[in-house]
Amino acid sequence: MKQALVTALLVLMSLAVTRTASAKDGATMRVGSKRFVESYILAEMVAQLAREGGASVEHDQGLGGTAVVFRAIEDGSIDVYPEYTGTLAAATVKTGASDLAALRAALAPRGLAISDPLGFENTYALAVSRSVATKLGLTKVSDLVGHPDLRVAMSHEFLGRRDGWPGLAERYGLAFAAPPKAIDHALAYEAISRGESDVIDVYTTDAKIGRFDLVVLADDRRFFPPYDAVLVYRADLPARVPAFAKVLERLRGAIDATSMQKMNARAELDGVPFARVAADFLAKRAGSAGDRVGLLAGTLDVVKRHGPRHLMLVAVSLAMSIAVGVPLGILAYARRRVGAAVLGLAGVVQTIPSLALFCFFIPLFGIGPVPALAALFVYGLLPIVRNTHAGLVSIPADLRDSAIAIGLSPSERLRHVELPLASRTILAGIKTSAVVAVGSATIAAFIGAGGFGEPISTGLSLNDVTMIMEGAIPAAAMALLVEGAFVVIERAVVPRGLRESREV
């Protein structure tokens, strides 16, 4: 029984390792995306086209921000992801040069290549409402100069960035009677539609530009660097996966800004799954807005797709926490000074926010399930170490003495008296760790480990409550099931005499 359990765990662990390694063996092409709608849609297009071409494709949705995704492609965990030239220039290559040739030259030594532009730009821009634009005849940023009475509202980030408002105002000589108001980006659209402000900053493919009928002013003095959408891919990918070469061809200049805006709107505002949005665009379908599945069906689908991974994350990390935590707890009990240090250290680890802990392991293990397992393992240690120690310490002195007095060796005492007597407390610690792991594992999706956190993180970036629920409900259900399972496990593990004596 015990051996079977150990074998099963080993198999699970090796599966986890092979899965992460699979991007490198060439059989599968792995597409990554950042955690926002447009990136999901573009990555989904790449995945679908490659699949059509016969390749085996996995899409790691919403791995994280630029830093995480770029690291993933550098170490080969993914093969391709959508990116913007301006972002590459500023955040990853840091050459200052932002033209495609310079970027390609900079990435080539790292084994990375950049596709031709996909056809649209997603850059900062200023926008005004259609009525104001018509009334004042505004089409480009320099048209704003003659209208100092316009009310300007900008996102905090845009106001603060040197390459945002300060630089822009200087380049165009813009001056307004009232200083620009700082406002949350999501609220800026509401403000302009209610006539509370006249000029706001936008991204050129924002879903809401079309919805709120805004006019984007042309950057006629080329202040903003180009943010052309491109694909960054492993240089050997077209040779390794022939279908990908066709994908590059098919997407070259294929998407204009208006199309992208509409696709973003469908996904973000209408709640259409982005796989569907991507498929519709590729099939040149306009597509309809309302074709979501219900919450129940969606939840069941999530359980089927993400349940096994979530369970694996919890089971493997918990097994490791037990394998290390129980001996550490015993050590803490046997050696008082070591014990204080161990318990103190474990306590400190527990105060680290779980997301931060997950990120600590990225430099060591890259992204995917391995760093997630490491983080969950460390997170699960404290309750087990603490309860093992507490359970052993709380054994009544007369029983401890009796065990010594009848002539048992230290190891016999531990195995036949002390651990059985502490088993209920130790098990309670393991249960705590298990339930915490079920919850914490939802955060693992933020570093690309999958599980029920995947619909949650995607739902967060889409502001889609239903999708968040589709991940949260099974996670909560699993936590309850784990609680229930421990009732059964306690019957098997805690000696009968102890269980009965507590009931009296």
Partner 1 sequence: MAALALERVTKAFGTRAVIRETSLELAAGEKLALIGPSGCGKSTLLRMILGLVVPDSGTVRVGDVVVSASSARAVRRRVGYVIQDGGLFPHLTAEENVTLVSRLNGRDGAALRARVSELAELAGLPEALLSRFPHALSGGERQRVGLMRALMLDPDVLLLDEPLGALDPIVRARLQEDLRDAFRKLEKSVLLVTHDMAEAAYLADSIAVMRDGAIVQRGTMKDLVDAPAHPFVAEFVGAQRTLTEALR
Alpha helix positions (H), 92-155: 100-107, 130-136
| Minimum distance from residue 400 beta carbon to partner 1 (Å) | 10
Question: Which residue do the tokens 């469908």 mark?
Answer: 266
Question: Is residue 492 a contact point for partner 1 (CB under 8 A)?
Answer: no
Residue closer to partner 1, measured from CB, 382 or 428 = 428
Residue closer to partner 1, measured from CB, 290 or 497 = 497
Residue choice 356, 487, 488, 504 for contact with partner 1 (CB under 8 A)? 504
Residue closer to partner 1, measured from CB, 104 or 400 = 400
| Minimum distance from residue 504 beta carbon to partner 1 (Å) | 6
| Minimum distance from residue 32 beta carbon to partner 1 (Å) | 53
Listed in sequence order, the residues at least 6 apart from 184 whose beta carbon sits closer than 8 Å to its beta carbon are: 155, 156
Question: Which residue do the tokens 């496990």 mark?
Answer: 489
| Minimum distance from residue 44 beta carbon to partner 1 (Å) | 57
Residue closer to partner 1, measured from CB, 111 or 495 = 495
Q: Which of residues 158-177 bind partner 1 (CB under 8 A)?
A: none
Residue closer to partner 1, measured from CB, 292 or 413 = 413
CB 69 within 8 A of CB 81: yes
Residue closer to partner 1, measured from CB, 96 or 407 = 407
Q: Which of residues 384-443 bind partner 1 (CB under 8 A)?
A: 398-399, 401-409, 412, 416-417, 420-421, 423
| Minimum distance from residue 492 beta carbon to partner 1 (Å) | 14
With contacts defined by CB under 8 A, name the span among 76-84, 296-304, 377-385, 496-504 that binds partner 1: 496-504
CB 439 within 8 A of CB 479: yes
Residue closer to partner 1, measured from CB, 222 or 502 = 502
Helix, strand, or coil (residue 189):
helix
Question: Which residue do the tokens 């849609």 mark?
Answer: 41
Residue closer to partner 1, measured from CB, 421 or 443 = 421
With contacts defined by CB under 8 A, name the span among 206-214, 302-310, 384-392, 493-501 that binds partner 1: 493-501
| Minimum distance from residue 503 beta carbon to partner 1 (Å) | 9
Burial (0-12, 13-18, 19+ Cβ within 10 Å), 195: exposed
Nearest C-alpha neighbor of 308 from the set 174, 408, 108, 449: 449
| Minimum distance from residue 494 beta carbon to partner 1 (Å) | 8
Residue closer to partner 1, measured from CB, 113 or 421 = 421
| Minimum distance from residue 490 beta carbon to partner 1 (Å) | 13
| Minimum distance from residue 317 beta carbon to partner 1 (Å) | 30
Burial (0-12, 13-18, 19+ Cβ within 10 Å), 132: middle
CB 141 within 8 A of CB 264: no
Residue choice 2, 25, 487, 500 for contact with partner 1 (CB under 8 A)? 500
With contacts defined by CB under 8 A, name the span among 158-166, 247-255, 269-277, 491-499 that binds partner 1: 491-499
For residues 445 and 460, give the distance between their C-alpha atoms in angstroms, rounded to a whole number: 12
| Minimum distance from residue 409 beta carbon to partner 1 (Å) | 7
Number of residues forming the site for partner 1 (CB under 8 A):
24
Which neighbouring-strand residues pair with 218?
140
Residue closer to partner 1, measured from CB, 308 or 420 = 420
Q: Which two tokens stand for residue 481?
A: 């099931």
Q: Which of residues 74-133 bind partner 1 (CB under 8 A)?
A: none
| Minimum distance from residue 493 beta carbon to partner 1 (Å) | 11
Nearest C-alpha neighbor of 111 from the set 73, 71, 85, 55: 73
| Minimum distance from residue 395 beta carbon to partner 1 (Å) | 10
Q: How many CB atoms lie within 10 A of CB 62?
A: 27
Strand residues in 164-281 grouped as ranges (E): 181-182, 199-203, 214-217, 229-234
Residue closer to partner 1, measured from CB, 412 or 483 = 412
Alpha helix positions (H), 255-294: 257-268, 274-282
Q: Which two tokens stand for residue 482?
A: 């784990």
Q: Which two tokens stand for residue 43?
A: 């990555």
Alpha helix positions (H), 22-174: 37-52, 66-74, 85-87, 100-107, 130-136, 156-160, 165-172
- Which DSSP state fits 108? G
Residue closer to partner 1, measured from CB, 301 or 412 = 412
Q: How many CB atoms lie within 10 A of CB 198?
A: 23
Query: Could you list the residues that contact partner 1 (CB under 8 A)?
Result: 398-399, 401-409, 412, 416-417, 420-421, 423, 495-498, 500-501, 504
